[in-house]
Structure 1
């Protein structure tokens, strides 16, 4: 199989998420990193590329020159898509440059700096004829896709209640207040809700197949001196009348990466936790809870296709991330859709609409606000 050629903007030396993207992209042998502009500092970009074994000519000082130079290469050599792993304020400028040069885009989330940019992104991608995907990693877990399949198949009945939580503790103390996620000029209007709240929001909508219509939020900084939120809660109302709660916190001391979702319908409920990702719990008033495990018969074909090793051999975050890259590589090659729910342009807009609404609602004292639609 011909590997799909990837370039990267951002993610240089010392950047956690850049390394994650590269490992995930490489896992199935379907994507090859061929170039990059890994930092706004030209020397750091060059060092980063050299450490990754790239030729100096394919390590660029800035993303604009990268797009121009790659587009000028023969079709069989140039990158085919770019992974965008920069701070939020650079997402749209990089995407615009990539689309203008004819390259597909795989972007980190949140998609843009603010909602207005998300609207611009929609117009740009829709008019380009190019592909766009968003790195909502947790959608890549087999048991998240299985949960979605069962809800959409009606096994729970009409959805009535959704509880989704993403709690971390890494910002509970002195995290270095020059961190870009806490800087409004680089992160946007939100830290916590933009960073992990968007994951919780996306997980709730993905698993239920329902859009959240409106919310009432209370967000803000709990550590004194911060300009952006490090914690928040939102009450949710779904389009079908279901109610929900979204909890996001980066100051919950001792928490690691505690993402979970619980969905309750008329007949049954389910629960999935990211820290035990190979299990999906089905609940009913008719008998004891049932624990479904990744890789076992009885799951849908989509969930089974996402596993790489036999049941009982745990797969986790990198494999889930790799499932997104594998699906995107198939899209770029023009292969048939295998039913995998790959986050894209709709999720990009929805995530930014969520952040914008949560910030506005909290500023208005928790007033219920409708989430904008496209």
Structure 2
């Protein structure tokens, strides 16, 4: 073979391999809101809870912010980004009143089992039976991505709950997890990260194991801007904790605030050249909450009717614009991990469920 022919073949193979790698593989940001009911997402403030002073106290301020005459108006007031922008560019699943259903496959219906199902693509009702700080024996999509040469060192997770380093199994997976009351570490901290490190210990959280979502959000946003990870997981927690306390007003405010945090992340990715026009957002929750009796809105678990009912939102590069799904469908949280692996073009032997068909092609 002539040297010129060899070089020609080598050039062809190089171009072929470059094409096969599909450099337009999207960046993926998965977001969860702990224990946010589908009822608030799709119908806004609950009339029965807003009228109940046991859960609201003085209703004047709450009604001014979130009460409107129709469910559609109420949901737009509570989630202006999701219903004002995402509705036009993405898809929103889980309005059971319209036949769109999404459920957990685990039977525990509380946080660690729910997050395990989302991140690993399967329920584990034998080994994941509590919220204890035990390393997850299952492999998450984050770990699979971090073990792929294309994404090694480009995967990161942030959470408000201090159990996430165990759920993600930070030690085994190698995925850096900033969660609970952890601060940013490293030799090249930004000025904002140093400020957050000083501020977080000085701002009391209402809870011993969950920090305020603002810290989780800004640690994540600063890291994303600095390090440009390609796969990110952000887990906000306030909605669940305020609900457990029976503070419906704070629960609604937390949900509304998180809607704004997601908007801020989305706007950042639209401007940053690394993420612009090539980033997908997936948003969901780890479990639902009760509705009847009314008091069960504060709770979840296998004994709470409806606590296994969840929802799913997708928007960004290449996502099929379907808006609010108004057709009969049955989705499961266990489909989220295989959906992400498909987006990242990773073959996961331990995660092989049916992806949700969210793309245009």
Fold match (TM-score > 0.5): no
Higher helix share: 2
Q: Which protein, 1 or 2, shows the higher relative CO under an 8 Å CA cutoff with sep ≥ 6? A: 2
Give TM class, smaller chain.
0.3 to 0.5
